[in-house]
Amino acid sequence: MRAIWLIVLTTSMAADSALSQVSAAPFYAAADVVFDGRLEKIAPSPAGLTARFSVTRLIKGESATSKGVQVQIPSESRCHALEENHRYLVYGRRIGDRLWVDPCEGSKLYSQAESDLQYIHTINPKFSEQCNRTKLKQLARISPIVATAKVVGTEDSMGSEFPFFRPWCGLVFTTEYAYYDTLDVIKGQIPDSKIAVEHAICWDTITTDGYSARLSSGLFREGNVLLLFLKRGSHRTDQPQAPFKSGYEDVDENCGAVIADTDAAQDAVASLRSAK
């Protein structure tokens, strides 16, 4: 895959979530076109680089045909990478007869656009984040175990022996352990105070670290309290670090672990408590 590698500003933001921490409001207001789509091809052009997207959903403006949309990208930028075959939330501006997309103007991996989509939902309720109230309530109903837990670390952050190359899940089911202190078991049973949960490492999912085949260093930061939707089981034969007990895996590769104090997460917990 060809990529545009750009320098990430890290003065006040973590590298994996720098743009996702910035309010989407100015990006949305300044954009002539906003869409959700997959980047199919990047190629050199006289004006810099040309990128072609297949459009999944047009959110604002007019840009797409049934075959997608072609945009111009600066040959140099200072924000982050765009790579072929990834899904993005794209903010574009019309300059002359061309649609320009600068990664510094809000465009980001769709998997890292939850806060943008929450904002867009306030303008157009037809669009919402992936881990929205409806999704989390559904997971709460179908999950054998629902609990809150504090992140202690992950295999990578705690220096576990992990493969030099970890593949994305596909031909094999790839997971990474996250380690937790159990806080509150809302549904089902977790007899252990310290648990290791297998989270899937799948392409363009919210729980992974963007372009890297590992758990999100922002979501799974030490001290974060997450709402977990779990089932019993294990795809792995190796054991997690002691004293953490294995035998748990998330039920959804996108929303199996979410920040516990969001409105959507609290609504899911309330729906379970009211059903008791």
Query: Domain limits of the chain?
Result: 3-123, 133-275
Identical fold for domains 3-123 and 133-275, yes or no, is yes
User: Which residues, other chains included, contact 220 with Cβ-Cβ below 8 Å and sequence gap of 6+?
Assistant: 151, 153, 154, 157, 178, 207, 226, 257
Q: Which residues, in sequence order, are bridge partners of residue 53?
A: 39, 69
- 211 vs 203: CA distance, rounded Å: 8
Instruction: Give pLDDT tens digits for 168-225.
Output: 998 788 999 999 999 999 999 999 999 999 999 999 999 999 899 999 999 999 999 9
Residues 76-117: tens digit of each pLDDT:
777 877 899 999 999 999 998 899 999 899 999 999 999 999
The domain defined by 133-275 folds into OB fold (Dihydrolipoamide Acetyltransferase, E2P) (2.40.50)
pLDDT tens, residue by residue, 46-71: 878 999 999 999 999 986 565 689 99
CA distance 189 to 179: 17
What pLDDT, on a 0 to 100 scale, did the predictor assign at position 205?
Answer: 96
Per CATH, the architecture of 3-123 is what?
Answer: Beta Barrel (2.40)
In angstroms, rounded to a whole number, what is the distance separating the alpha carbons of residues 15 and 218?
Answer: 9
The 10 Å Cβ neighbour count of residue 115 is 17
**Stretch 241-245: mean pLDDT:** 92
What is the reported pTM? 0.85
Residue 19 near residue 111 (C-beta atoms within 8 A) = no
